[in-house]
Amino acid sequence: MAEEKRQEFWRWAETNWVNPDIKWEAAQFMTVGIDVGSVSSQAVIMADGEIYAYGNMRTGSDSPNSARNALKFALENSTLTEDKISYCIGTGYGRVNVPMADRTVTEIACHARGANFIYGPEVRTVLDVGGQDIKVIRCDDKGKVTNFLMNDKCAAGTGRGMEVFSDLLSVPIGDVGDRSFDVDEEPAPVSSTCVVYAKSEATGLLRKGLKTNEVLAAYCAAMAERIYSLLERVGVEPQFAITGGMAKNRGVIDRLKKKMGLEPMKTKWDTQLAGAVGAALFGHALCKKGKGL
């Protein structure tokens, strides 16, 4: 029982990967992008502008170590060593604390550039739902930012808000999406904006006899509404792509899709990588111009 209590339902799986089709020894430039977010950190290593390896893990209590750990994690199953890396760019909330970075680039620019790569140049609107913020970015066919809007003041609609709920309802965060659709009837969305009040409201709903899955559905719907209102303010131009951890939660995304009447683009890549991919691409571009060296 005590064991069960300590389970951290919000904890998502940390992943790393090495591309078996790329021989890094043959590459001219090896560049790294490190995105230290408020909740997760990613390191993406590119060989001449192609993704060679990545590591995606939870941000620890200090940014420099999170950056180091993410890079170490990316290199874990590779023969590549840190000293072979030509250029490193830091981005994200903790970008000024990436010790190995040659320079930093804002996460807005990196996300647009990264989405352009992982989703393709047709992307015009990028919605990034991260751990502690929501960004809506409009960009051109080169992945250059033309306009953006951001909410980083309030947890409503962010990944952290969803983590709080998965913990409250003791539902592993990866199961939230599917379970939120396992209901007989779609309940009314949770009405409180503030996550603190939404928690009290959810407890009240449980007391009233709603099932856990129904409360999940009510909260996913509230999140979709929150995100939709931000999208509306910037205006969505297709093609539309979603990055960040929330892109993996169909409980929110499918409800958002329905509201928008628009199908988001699909990708084979981990949606949390966009920022780091963008950073590594900026590094690659600098190397090619000879400016980074």
Partner 1 sequence: MITAGIDCGAKNTKTVIMKDENIIGRGTVLTGFEQSAAVKESLALALKEAGISREQIQHIGGTGSGAKAISEADVKVNNIKAMAAAANFFFPKARTVTDVGAEESRAVKCDESGNVVDFAINEKCAAGAGAFIEAMGRALETSLEEMGPLALSSDKAIAMNAQCTIFAESEVVGLIHAKTPKKDISKAIHDAMASRIVSMIRRIGVNPDIVMLGGVAYNPGFVSALQRELGVDAIYVPEKPEFGTAVGAAVVAAKDSQ
CA–CA separation, 104 and 92 (whole Å): 9
Residues that bind partner 1 (CB under 8 A): 38, 61-62, 132, 153-155, 160-161, 164, 193-197, 200, 204, 207
- E strand map for the chain: 15-18, 30-36, 40-47, 50-58, 87-91, 103-104, 125-129, 134-139, 145-151, 240-243
d(CA 23, CA 242): 30
Q: Which is nearer to partner 1, 159 or 264 (CB)?
A: 159
- Closer CB to partner 1, 154 or 183, in the complex: 154
Cα distance between residue 278 and residue 34, in whole Å: 10
User: Between 212-234 and 195-207, two packed helices, what is the crossing angle to 10 degrees?
Assistant: 150
Lookup: tokens for 248 = 């993996």
Minimal distance, residue 161 CB to partner 1, in Å: 7
Contacts of 21 (CB under 8 A, 6+ apart): none
Q: Least distance (Å) from partner 1 to the CB of residue 140? A: 32
Q: Which tokens is 36 given?
A: 């230290």
Q: Which is nearer to partner 1, 33 or 159 (CB)?
A: 159
User: CB neighbours of 257 closer than 8 A, spacing ≥ 6?
Assistant: 263, 264
Least separation in angstroms between CB 194 and partner 1: 5
Nearer CB in complex with partner 1: 7/197:
197
What is the chain's Cα-based Rg? Answer: 19
Nearer CB in complex with partner 1: 97/104: 97
Find the shortest distance in angstroms from Cβ 104 to partner 1. Answer: 18
CB of 62 to partner 1, least distance (A): 7
Q: How far apart are CB 114 and partner 1 at their closest, in Å?
A: 24
CB nearer partner 1, residue 188 or residue 194: 194
